[in-house]
Structure 1
């Protein structure tokens, strides 16, 4: 009996000599839009301890103990007048303090050029950091991380990083881009057998992957973009994480993830969410099935996890100053959670914007996910400002490659856009002709430069917020390899060992310079085209393999003529008199030539001609 105190003392020492392994979020700010703060602590058996703190303006409102004793969740309130500083969180065993954690409250940065949002006046340049440029070869391989860089593997890491993007921001700006979207930069410390160079299998949501750089480098990247009048869109994923996430090594609770043994992998049918006749089986399969076997599916109906994810978004917005979020796999999680997430983010940052990836098959399914959809009768309001407009991409692919006919060819564009009444605001749709998950546009067009130019001109003039995929300015085609790596080739010249550089005119081929000049001219022209940013759309039913539409405000108008014929066509101006009667001439944006729009006019073969109308 006399040895018992010694045994207890030894056990106590052994238990509490362990350090806290994770504190999420790692710090916070004063004067935030919300006074609530949830802190997750993770360390060996800290759930057995009782926390306390003393700091003016900060109160510990409640404590939540998870089934796993290695977790402790603190719910704090940070009063509006709280001063920045550091306070201690004491973790006690009875009256004895076993651990004391320093927690910092920083002062907010309230510059007006942060969190600006994005809209139809922008053109978004989407790039994959691993495949764009390797600015720091020293971080290609990090000791202790699973995967090293190997450019010989098209589906593995190649070594691109944030510094590589920073080094080439002048190139992006020169193209006319006003916003940059990076695929996720979160830590993705996944095994090489999976290949998580793309960033969509996060293993720590509060850290930039060290092979890309650091949190500080990401923040510096955002600040540099802002200094060059470019915005930054951050890619996030709340549907899943990677199977090497630290949660998977020490599960907070049994309901943190959905059970793959019960639900398997998802059915990839996002349409189920808006289907009034959907079976519960199909709905469960969509929402609870894992995206792939290496991506555990998050259960956002666990309230602690839901709060964690929402707060993580707010932390990155506040920390980095990003202007928008693109949320991956938007149609897979619980839709009530998504509406709550959007609401909290947009309430906190009213000038912000969010686009959700809604990869679905029909316009009605797409429109379901945009806020306040007219005529929606299931009572759901997503509150989401923007959706990815896959319908435009699908229609353009068909329009430029199908046989002609009154139901085919350019009519596909007409049928898609004529359903815009289903969207609450189609001008907020993010439109694109390819991205990191699709075949490259030049490949889809059979590597036909004329069709490529027709499609890019359409993208620059149709309603919505255009997004272009890195390399499109070079008419980059798919690589002749298998796997997703075929769509994600390196930018030649982004690596020290490359023999030429597409980032310079001298390093580009004649074909690449032709594409670059075309993309640069149209994109930069669009920056000043008010009728494209804010104008109404009036279009005319396609006839004889031509499609004519106008973008117009009270003060200016742009006429777009798509001619898919192999020969020049004459356009009957009387058909378009309701717009053209106010104008006399049309300045061709492409070649600077002028046409008389008071009479019939001609448009050359296989082109999308853009005319600024003049009175």
Structure 2
């Protein structure tokens, strides 16, 4: 997939090439890694929670407790050429990445029992179709197909692929293929029904882009052919933004119709239809994912897309992202979740932490100088991140071998763009490592893999939390009430019918003693730990829970109150003083900064920090105060800075903190990637954005206040 650089991932150092990937940078300097948050003295923090922070959110499709099977998907992604060698007759022997490049379909078949044992219920295979570009390494990735109706003879046969699907179905696993419907090799075979692709599309790498609507019927035939022929359960859609959004409804509807017309026998001996699930890859901001993938409620396109905004908030909280931005406070998770406000109601976003185009979580920990595999913290951070993912309402995807904490030995820092491809160490393909599957030889003739004690422990933890997720619809199909987040801990209540679960995650390396009022979570009875069965009693109207460093707890709320979590009166959105004045007169001059200043961010119309719209241009009011009143048409969450058009002056909340609406906060320079602040607009209306610059023009105070 081509990484479209956006301010969603502002800190990423390079622009990824097409999914086959040749390099991941442009010769940039290595990223500057932020220092970790300093723990309190004694490595213990006391936290009191008296009110819920956010009201109930039950808007999105997977927040409504309707029992949709797609919300319960737990997908295991496999990079076919890099995974497991199961048949010496089928080897690529070359591709991008650092694996053995001998992976094949039989190797995946050999690994199905392991995948099932993890508690996963689906697998996604990277493209398996015949490739014919002039780049042998690119062919190994499968992302520039030469024949969409033939299995690549370096991976196996159509019969083996059908066997894989049948064996997966017998184990309760759905199977999704990777569909590249926006570009191809440029020399592509025709279809069984006599259709062919256009040959005059724009060039892309070693191939060309598809042309719509000319190529629509061809790709509908591809998408339905494999459903009818071998009963796959749907598609992962590469670079889904390449297909104009208005045509996704045609392809999706065709897949759903084809799926309704065939059946197979599932693990329980029941005749069922293929699932017909489709998930798009749009590596962009939440607003762009909405407009280019989901469409609108009136004209829905795809029903599911990967949730890149929450992926970045997750790795930036528990590790760092590829550009080194990370070890953020727990509030950053809530900021990520608020990005979902951009999606229409029918959306079923799919959360992943890793994939074949980005770094493994273990390598991100090392890039951030946070933890090494020989340290307990390395494994604890993995567990915390996976637990947060397990509590996500909607489908989730786990990249192969992340469940054992795999990292690329000797790799952490970004490798030079001029040499990384030959070493298999470019950021956009370094995660394509040889598979390590317990009890299965990685290469034909080798000894079956035995996991280390740490790997086996993490694998078992993943299996345990996947079992908890599967048994509790509140986790995958429940509404979300955000109870609390601060520098250290994150707490949500999840509800689906009479299944009520409290999720608590400690995101930092300190022990957290948490006192929670029963009214804050809407509970007046026991909380039962779903992992240990230990009960926490309510005493004097409150609960006392201790979370170890990077510890997580899933609690069954055994006695929910009718009132639910108490929000109290909520935060006052209207501030006081001159920074809250929505009608101050302009001073008629540019002010002490000597330049026009703007709110720059990834808000709607902000072009991912690139735009400087007049609607977000500050006016100087005198007394070193700059202000602009913005009409926020709907609830929203976004990142922003106060900056000029040339980025010579950049400011945000001190330490890149979140905005507390109605409160004056310290403003500080925010230079470079990953230093923006975030804001959650809870309700529509006019808001005044203000800052007072200090005498040295290097800081001051800021406020965002709702206009009465």
TM score, norm. by length of structure 1? 0.66
Aligned partner (choices 457, 463, 482) of residue 514 of structure 1: 457
CA deviation map 1:272-314 (0-9, x unaligned): xxxxxxxxxxxxxxxxxx2x2x122121232xx3211111211
Which has a greater percent of helix? Answer: 1
State the secondary structure of the residue aligned to 1:159. Answer: coil
Q: Is the 8 A contact 1:570 1:601 kept in 2?
A: yes
Aligned partner (choices 409, 429, 441) of residue 349 of structure 2: 429
Shift, 1:461, TM fit: 0.7
Q: Is the 8 A contact 1:587 1:614 kept in 2?
A: no
1:225–1:401 CA distance, 2 compared to 1 (3 A): closer
Shift, 1:383, TM fit: 2.1
Aligned partner (choices 597, 602, 605) of residue 549 of structure 2: 605
Where do 1:105-120 residues align within 5 Å?
Answer: 119-120=70-71
Shift, 1:551, TM fit: 1.1
Aligned partner (choices 335, 338, 355) of residue 418 of structure 1: 338
**Separation in 2, partners of 1:342, 1:427:** 14
1:501 aligns with 2:424: no
**Separation in 1, partners of 2:240, 2:94:** 31
Shift, 1:565, TM fit: 3.5
RMSD: 3.1
CA deviation map 1:98-155 (0-9, x unaligned): xxxxxxxxxxxxxxxxxx9951222000101212211111222xxxxxxx5259x846
User: Which residue does 2:213 correspond to in 1?
Assistant: 301
User: Which residue does 1:354 correspond to in 2?
Assistant: 278
Shift, 1:418, TM fit: 2.2
Shift, 1:225, TM fit: 1.1
State the secondary structure of the residue aligned to 1:197. Answer: helix
1:170–1:253 CA distance, 2 compared to 1 (3 A): closer
**Separation in 2, partners of 1:450, 1:538:** 26
User: Which residue does 2:163 correspond to in 1?
Assistant: 220
Aligned partner (choices 452, 457, 465) of residue 387 of structure 2: 457
User: Which residue does 1:284 correspond to in 2?
Assistant: none
Where do 1:68-83 residues align within 5 Å?
Answer: none
User: Which residue does 1:122 correspond to in 2?
Assistant: 73
1:594 aligns with 2:538: no
CA deviation map 1:415-461 (0-9, x unaligned): 12124333234772111111111111122233422211110000111
User: Which residue does 2:605 correspond to in 1?
Assistant: none
User: Which residue does 2:397 correspond to in 1?
Assistant: 467
**Separation in 2, partners of 1:353, 1:613:** 32
User: Which residue does 1:134 correspond to in 2?
Assistant: 85
1:175–1:373 CA distance, 2 compared to 1 (3 A): same
**Separation in 1, partners of 2:150, 2:197:** 25
1:402–1:478 CA distance, 2 compared to 1 (3 A): closer
Q: Is the 8 A contact 2:281 2:306 kept in 1?
A: yes
Q: Is the 8 A contact 1:123 1:468 kept in 2?
A: yes
**Separation in 2, partners of 1:232, 1:486:** 25
1:562–1:259 CA distance, 2 compared to 1 (3 A): closer
**Separation in 2, partners of 1:372, 1:241:** 24
**Separation in 2, partners of 1:579, 1:455:** 23
**Separation in 2, partners of 1:208, 1:184:** 9
Where do 1:556-575 residues align within 5 Å?
Answer: 556-574=499-517
User: Which residue does 1:395 correspond to in 2?
Assistant: 313
**Separation in 2, partners of 1:426, 1:587:** 32
Where do 1:212-611 residues align within 5 Å?
Answer: 212-243=155-186, 245-246=188-189, 256-260=199-203, 290=204, 292=205, 294-302=206-214, 305-349=215-259, 352-360=276-284, 362-371=285-294, 373=296, 381-401=299-319, 408-425=328-345, 428-446=348-366, 447=372, 448-478=378-408, 480=411, 481-483=424-426, 484-492=428-436, 494-496=441-443, 500-502=447-449, 507-574=450-517, 577-589=519-531, 591-598=532-539, 599-611=543-555
Q: Is the 8 A contact 2:387 2:465 kept in 1?
A: yes
**Separation in 2, partners of 1:179, 1:387:** 16
**Separation in 2, partners of 1:201, 1:254:** 13
State the secondary structure of the residue aligned to 2:107. Answer: helix
Shift, 1:389, TM fit: 0.6
Shift, 1:563, TM fit: 1.4
Q: Is the 8 A contact 1:120 1:427 kept in 2?
A: no
**Separation in 2, partners of 1:565, 1:308:** 51
Shift, 1:464, TM fit: 1.3
CA deviation map 1:540-588 (0-9, x unaligned): 24124211001122312211111123332222211x5243424312215
1:454–1:498 CA distance, 2 compared to 1 (3 A): farther
Alignment length (residue pairs): 443
TM score, norm. by length of structure 2? 0.58
Q: Is the 8 A contact 1:123 1:465 kept in 2?
A: yes
Shift, 1:349, TM fit: 3.7
**Separation in 2, partners of 1:582, 1:321:** 49
**Separation in 1, partners of 2:245, 2:509:** 47
1:495–1:535 CA distance, 2 compared to 1 (3 A): closer
Q: Is the 8 A contact 2:73 2:394 kept in 1?
A: no
**Separation in 1, partners of 2:537, 2:458:** 29
User: Which residue does 2:602 correspond to in 1?
Assistant: none
Q: Is the 8 A contact 2:358 2:430 kept in 1?
A: no
1:215–1:597 CA distance, 2 compared to 1 (3 A): farther
Where do 1:176-191 residues align within 5 Å?
Answer: 176-191=119-134
Deviates more, 1:381-390 or 1:414-423: 414-423
1:158 aligns with 2:109: no
Shift, 1:467, TM fit: 0.5
**Separation in 1, partners of 2:329, 2:207:** 39
Q: Which runs of 5+ in 1 are unaligned?
A: 1-115, 141-147, 261-289
Q: Is the 8 A contact 1:354 1:384 kept in 2?
A: yes
**Separation in 1, partners of 2:344, 2:282:** 15
State the secondary structure of the residue aligned to 2:241. Answer: coil
CA deviation map 1:486-537 (0-9, x unaligned): 21111145434675533xxxx1112211211111111122221122132211
